[in-house]
């Protein structure tokens, strides 16, 4: 049989043997010595080269060298595959040192976290939670709240109109009206929700934001009770040491009205966080409550404002960009 043919035969039988090789040490060694050893098949082919036709010698030599190389490379590759990684556990077949698979988990949006805290505080002192429409008519968003057409107080809130009579609510105060229309007093609710204003967008204003409205109606409800409740609320959110002040203000739906400021250490100035006041008798009349019998207080706060103060966030737009680098800090 000529040498060239033999070379091909050895190549094929080596490949077959390698394919079925297991990691058993003896089998590995046996295969190695059978083909690649000093007295193995390949070595014996080399010894036959001496007697080959001198004209064919260079080509046959080249083919033999090629065979030897190919066999060595594939043998080593196969054996390397048998090596156990560091940390490999024979009993479980697992390598415990491999890095784990990271499953990214989300977190609650900072506004949701603040809202949850606000809800906790008020529900713990007897308030229930209610919701109302974001698209509402002029009556609920303005007129019933003692803001008639052409009243200058409408300038306080730049409005998105759906049509002449329908608006995106500019505040959650519209739900005060729905609550009183649909329930008999006494009632005590907070109302979280999204509100919309057609304002120039900047670090402190956005075209939408969130508020929590509060409404308490009963027979003997005083302004000082409201002050106590709101002070308690502010201290639970910002801590006992927060500096707080009530400042006289004006809202058409409350009389008297006030705003609550807290001292912002970072900016070194008072920051307004909510408006409040005793429910104006005109509002009671608009919903059919007798103002001679019923009294109440109401308040409204911006959730973004509170979150910005509490977490020292300087730009309101962060809340809406959903940048994970921002969100993952909470």
Residue numbers of the site for ligand DAH (CB under 6 A)? Answer: 171, 173, 213, 251, 254, 275-277, 298-300
Examine residue 139 and say whether the peptide bond preceding it is cis (omega within 30 degrees of 0): no
Nearest CB to ligand DAH, comparing residues 39 and 149: 149
| CB 285 to ligand DAH: min, Å | 17
Q: Are 169 and 133 in contact (CB under 8 A)?
A: yes
Nearest CB to ligand DAH, comparing residues 173 and 295: 173
Residues 6+ apart with CB under 8 A from 298: 173, 176, 213, 214, 215, 216, 253, 254, 276, 277, 279
Nearest CB to ligand DAH, comparing residues 41 and 141: 141
Burial 75-112 (b: 16+ CB within 10 A, else e): beeeeeeeeeeeeeeeeeeeeeeeeeeeeeeeeeebbe
| CB 260 to ligand DAH: min, Å | 10
Report the C-alpha gap between 262 and 309 in whole angstroms: 9
H or E element at residue 279: strand 269-279
| CB 300 to ligand DAH: min, Å | 2
Name the nearest CA neighbour of 156 among 105, 190, 211, 197: 197
Q: Are 253 and 233 in contact (CB under 8 A)?
A: no
Measured from each CB, the residue nearest to ligand DAH is 300
* CA dihedral sign, ordered 51, 52, 55, 58: negative
| CB 150 to ligand DAH: min, Å | 19
Query: Across the chain, how many H-helices and E-strands are there?
Result: 12, 11
Nearest CB to ligand DAH, comparing residues 223 and 326: 223
| CB 249 to ligand DAH: min, Å | 8
Nearest CB to ligand DAH, comparing residues 75 and 233: 233
Name the nearest CA neighbour of 215 among 283, 298, 295: 298
| CB 276 to ligand DAH: min, Å | 5
Nearest CB to ligand DAH, comparing residues 233 and 251: 251
Which one-letter DSSP state was computed for residue 201?
A: -
Nearest CB to ligand DAH, comparing residues 171 and 210: 171
**How are strands ordered across the β-sheet holding 208-218?**
128-129, 187-196, 208-218, 295-302, 269-279, 254-264, 244-251
Report the C-alpha gap between 50 and 246 in whole angstroms: 109
Nearest CB to ligand DAH, comparing residues 185 and 277: 277
């Amino acid at each position: 049989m000529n040498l060239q043919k033999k070379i091909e035969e050895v190549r094929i039988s080596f490949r077959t043997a390698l394919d079925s090789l297991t990691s058993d040490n003896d089998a590995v060694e046996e295969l190695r010595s059978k083909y690649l050893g000093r007295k193995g098949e390949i070595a014996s082919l080399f010894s036959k080269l001496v007697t080959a036709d001198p004209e064919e010698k260079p080509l046959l030599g080249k083919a033999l060298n090629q065979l030897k190389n190919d066999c060595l490379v594939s043998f080593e590759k196969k054996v390397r595959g048998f090596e156990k990684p560091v940390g490999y556990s024979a009993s479980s077949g697992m390598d415990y040192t491999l890095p784990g698979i990271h499953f990214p988990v989300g977190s609650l949006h900072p506004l949701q976290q603040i809202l949850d805290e606000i809800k906790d505080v008020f529900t713990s002192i007897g308030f229930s939670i209610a919701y109302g429409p974001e698209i509402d008519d002029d009556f609920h968003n303005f007129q019933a709240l003692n803001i008639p057409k052409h009243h200058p107080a409408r300038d306080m809130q730049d409005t998105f109109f759906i049509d002449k009579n329908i608006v995106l609510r500019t505040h959650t105060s519209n739900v005060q009206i729905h609550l009183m229309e649909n329930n008999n007093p006494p009632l005590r609710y907070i109302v979280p929700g999204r509100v919309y204003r057609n304002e120039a967008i900047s670090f402190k204003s956005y075209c939408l934001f969130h508020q929590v409205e509060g409404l308490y109606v009963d027979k003997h409800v005083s302004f000082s009770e409201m002050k106590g409740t709101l002070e308690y609320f502010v201290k639970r959110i910002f801590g006992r040491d927060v500096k707080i002040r009530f400042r006289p203000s004006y809202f058409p739906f409350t009389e008297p009205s006030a705003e609550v400021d807290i001292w912002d250490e970072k900016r070194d100035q008072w920051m307004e966080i909510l408006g409040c006041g005793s429910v104006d008798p005109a509002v009671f009349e608009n919903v059919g409550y007798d103002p001679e019998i019923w009294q109440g207080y109401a308040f409204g706060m911006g959730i973004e404002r509170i979150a910005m103060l509490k977490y020292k966030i300087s730009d309101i737009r962060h809340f809406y960009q959903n940048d994970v680098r921002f969100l993952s800090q909470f």
